[in-house]
Amino acid sequence: MKTIDELLADGVSGKRVFVRADLNVPLDDGTITDDGRIRAVLPTVKALVDAGAKVVVASHLGRPKGAPDPAFSLLPAAERLGELLGAPVAFAEDTVGPAAHDAVDGLQPGQVAVIENLRFNPGETSKDDTERGEFADRLAALADVYVGDGFGAVHRKHASVFDLPARLPHYAGYLIATEVGVLKKLTDDVKRPYAVVLGGAKVSDKLGVIDHLLEKADRILIGGGMAYTFLKAQGHEVGISLLQEDQIPAVQEYMKRAEERGVEFVLPVDVLVSPDFPDLKTKAPANPTTVAANAIPADQEGLDIGPETRTLYASKLADAATVFWNGPMGVFEHPDYAEGTKAVAQALVASDGFTVVGGGDSAAAVRTLGFDEKAFGHISTGGGASLEYLEGKTLPGLAALED
C-alpha cells in the first residue's frame, strides 16, 4: 500500500487530488456536535495544501436515499473544515455535476473544495457493479490522483471507496495508515495481557469480533445493552432490559469456548435499573436503583453497570499491556447513566498499556465526558471498520489501496 508520503515525494503541485475523507459527523439542527472526524483528516489535507495540490475532499454523511436531502448536506462539515484550516473552502452543491466541476476548475494550487454528500447519488452505494463504476468514472474526471483517508468507510464496497481507486493512481492518507498500524498491534503484534471491553446495544453487532478475539484476547469484559443477553444466557432475570433472545445460543457457545481456551469472560455483577428509559433531551433526573446483576426486577430495565462492576472492570484493566474498547457501558448521554462508561475511560487513561478506543459511540463518549484525547493510545474514527478488521474480514477500501 503506497502512502501519501510517497505521493508528496513525487510532487503534487498543481495536481487535482481527490481525498476520500470521512466527514460523517453528528449534526443537531445543522450544528456539528462532534468534529473529531473532520480533525482526523486535517494532517492529510494540510500536507497536500502545503505541497500545492488542488484538493478535492469528498465524503458521505448519514443515510440519504440516493437523492439530495438538505438534512444530510456536507455544507456544515465544509465550513468547519475551512475554520480548522484557517482558509476558505469552496463548496459544490452537487457531486459530479456542473457545480462540482466549477468548484474544482476554480481551484488554485494549495486550495480546497468539498463536493456535496456522495450518497446523494445512487451510484455511490449501488450493489450493481456497472452503476457504481459509472459513478466512479464521473468522480475520476474531477481528479488526477486518489488519496483514501476515510477509514470509517473502508468496510463499504462503495464507488468512492472501492471503485474509484482503480481508476486513478492511489495512495493511503495519514489517517488510514495510522489506523491500520494500530489494528495490527491488536491482531498481529499483541503485547499481553490483552483485554477487550465490548459494550453498546446489540450483541449481534459484536458476535463476529468476539468469535475472532477468543483466539487472541486474554480477557473480555462485557457491558452496555448487550450484557443483558449474556446474563439471560446464564439463566438470570433481566426484566425489560434490551435482550436479543435469538442470540442466546451463540452467546452460550462463546462463553463455553472462552472457558475451554482460558479466556476470562467478565460480566457485570451489579447494574443500574429503572422502570423508564431516561429523557435524553431534558436530561431530567432519572433516580436509578442499583441491584445485583442476577436480581434485576421483572419490571426494570438495566441502563448502566453498577459501582461494584466499575471497580471490578478497572481492576481487570489495570495490568493490561493492550486494551481495545468498543461500545459504551450504559446510556452515557444521560448523566445518571454515564458513570460506567466514564469508569472504563478513566481506567484506560490510568493504564500504562497501549489503549485503543474503537470509534463510534465510544469515541463520542470520550469527548462528551470531557477526557483528553491525547490520554489514550489511539481513538479510532471507524467503529464498524475497526470491528470488521478485528473479525479478520477483508475491507474493500483497504484492498482497493493495495497494489
Catalytic residues: 37, 202, 360, 384
CB-based contact 36:80 (threshold 8 Å): no
- Residue 197 host element (H or E): strand 194-198
Name the grid cell of 362: 465510544
Query: In the β-sheet with 145-148, what is the strand arrangement from edge to edge?
Result: 89-92, 112-115, 54-58, 16-20, 145-148, 170-172
CB-based contact 25:77 (threshold 8 Å): yes
Name the grid cell of 387: 470491528
CA distances in angstroms from 264 to 135, 194, 260, 316, 318, listed in the order given: 48, 11, 10, 10, 15
State the Cα–Cα distance between residues 246 and 224, nearest whole angstrom.
18
CA distances in angstroms from 266 to 42, 285, 298, listed in the order given: 38, 30, 23
**Spacing of C-alpha 88 from chain mean position:** 28
First to last CA, the chain: 6
* R_g of the chain computed on alpha carbons: 22
Name the grid cell of 156: 463499504
Residue carrying the nine cell digits 449534526: 27
